[in-house]
Amino acid sequence: MRLWVDDASALAWMAPQGCTGVAVHAWPNDATLQALAQDAAFQVGDVVVEAFGCELPPAFQALMAQGTPPVWINLEYLSAEGYVARSHGLPSPVMSGPARGLTKWFFFPGFTPGTGGLLREPDLLARQAAFDRSAWLASLPLDTPITAHERVISLFCYEPPALAALLQDLSQSEVHTRLLVTPGRPQRAVAQALAQLNMPSTGAGKLHISQLPYLSQTEFDHLLWACDLNFVRGEDSLVRALWAGQPFVWHIYPQDDLAHHNKLMAFCQALQMPQDLIAFHLAWNGVPNTSHPGLPRIALDNWRVWSQQTRQLLCAQTDLTRQLLGFVAQKR
C-alpha cells in the first residue's frame, strides 16, 4: 500500500514506527510523474483512493487510464447529514480530461446504516479492555503527578469561543480538575484564554493545567481512555472519542459560511445526544442558542451512559475498512 501525502511530518510523532506494508511517498510533482510514466516497473495499483477530494494530478490520471483501470474511490469527509446515505456508493463518470471514460465511486464514512461506517481496527476493544489507566497516567511527564481525587479532562481543540468560560467554570467547580492540554493550537488557545482571565499558566482554584507532549496515535487513544471527559476536534479524534466510550465534546472544524453549524446539529441529532450535551456543544462551537445561553453544567454520569450506549450502537455496524474492501471487490 502506498500513501501519497503533501506533508508527512506529523507521522514522525503520530506513527513513529511506521506500518508494515505501507510506503509513504511525497505528493508527486510533474517531473516525478513523468519519470514514473517511463518506469516500466511502476504500476498505478488495483485501487486508487482519492481522500477528501484531493484532486489527483492530471499526469497520474493519465497513468490510471492506461491498461486495466483501477477501482477509483473518492473517500469523502465524515458527516451525519442526510445526503451521506443518499450519495454513498454512487458512481461519478469522468466525462473529460486524461481520465475520460473512467468511473469514480463515492464512498462516504458515516454513523448510520447505509453509509461507509467508521474506522475501527479489529483489536481495538480488546486493547482497551487490557488498558491500565492508573499506570498510564502515572507515566505521563507532567509538572505534578495526577492525584486520585482529581477529575481528569483532555483538551484537543481549535480556538473554541467558550474556552475562557470553561476554564473559569473549572476553577470555581466543587471538584478538583486536572486539564491535560495537547500541543499546538490547543496550548496557544489556552494561553490566550488564561491571559484574558488573568489566570496563572497552571490554573487557579480547583483547576490545575498540565501541558502534554505530542502523542502517537496509540498514545492518543490511551489519553482518551484515561480521561473522565475529552474535548476533541475534527474528524479523526471524534471517531477515537466515540470508541473510547467516555464523555466527550466535539469542536467541529469551523467554516467561513457557518456550514459547520448544520453539520454539528446533524451529528447531535443522528446519535440522539442528550439535550444538555447538545447545549454544551452549541456553546463550545459558538452556535447561537437562545434557549440555553452559556455553558451548561458538566454532567459526566449522564453523558457517560450516552457515550457507552452510542459506542455499542456503532460497534454493531461494519467498520469502514471492511466495507471499503467489500465495495472494491464488487467493483473489480
Residues 274 and 154 grouped into a single domain: yes
User: Is the separation of the CB atoms in 289 and 283 below 8 Å?
Assistant: yes
- Please, are residues 266 and 75 in contact by the beta-carbon 8 Å criterion? no
**Taking 80 as the threshold, does the pLDDT of residue 51 lie above it?**
yes
Co-location of 171 and 278 in the same domain = yes
Query: Where residue 328 falls among pLDDT bands split at 50, 70, 90?
Result: very high
Residue type, 217: Q
Residue 260 pLDDT level (bands cut at 50, 70, 90): very high
Q: Looking at residue 290, what is its pLDDT?
A: 74
The mean pLDDT of 51-78, rounded to a whole number, is 93
Alpha-carbon separation of residue 11 from 218, 265, 321 (angstroms) = 12, 32, 20
Over residues 288-310, the mean pLDDT reads 93
Element containing residue 93 per DSSP (H, E): strand 91-93
Structure confidence at residue 255 (pLDDT): 87
Minimal CA–CA distance to 16: which of 219, 216, 237? 216
The answer on 185 and 89 residing in a single domain is no
**pLDDT number for residue 44:** 92
pLDDT tens digits along 104-156: 999 999 999 999 999 999 999 999 999 999 999 999 999 999 999 999 999 99
Diameter of the chain measured on Cα atoms: 69
Model confidence at 65: pLDDT above 90: yes
Indicate if the pLDDT at residue 54 is higher than 90: no
Beta bridge partners of 249: 231
pLDDT score at 219: 97
Residue 28 has pLDDT above 90, yes or no: yes
Residues 108 and 255 grouped into a single domain: no
Burial readout 66-90 (b: 16 or more C-beta within 10 A, e: otherwise): eeeebbbbbbbebbbbeebbeebbe
> What average pLDDT is seen over the chain?
95
- Check if the beta carbon of residue 11 is closer than 8 Å to that of residue 214: no
Contact assessment for residue 220 and residue 213, using Cβ atoms and an 8 Å cutoff? no
**pLDDT computed for residue 293 by the predictor:** 80
Distance CA 107, CA 265 (A): 22
Q: What is the pLDDT of residue 67?
A: 83
Portion of the chain with pLDDT greater than 90, in percent? 92
Q: Where are the beta strands (DSSP E) in 157-305?
A: 177-181, 207-211, 229-233, 248-251
Say whether both 82 and 134 belong to one domain. no
Whether the pLDDT of residue 294 is over 90: the answer is no
Domain limits at 164?
Answer: 124-315
Residues 237 and 311 in one domain: yes
Do 97 and 172 lie in a common domain? no
Q: Are residues 135 and 266 in the same domain?
A: yes
Work out the pLDDT band at 37, boundaries 50, 70, 90.
confident
Same domain, 196 and 225: yes
Q: Report d(CA 89, CA 328) in Å as an integer.
A: 10
What is the model's pLDDT at position 250? 98
Question: Residue 136 maps to which CATH number?
Answer: 3.40.50.2000
Q: 53 pLDDT band (50/70/90 cuts)?
A: confident
**Residues 219-243: what's their mean pLDDT?**
97
Structural domain count, the chain: 2
262 and 160, same domain (yes or no): yes
If one compares 38 and 179, the residue with the highest pLDDT of the two is 179
Residues 254 and 197 grouped into a single domain: yes
Same domain, 303 and 324: no
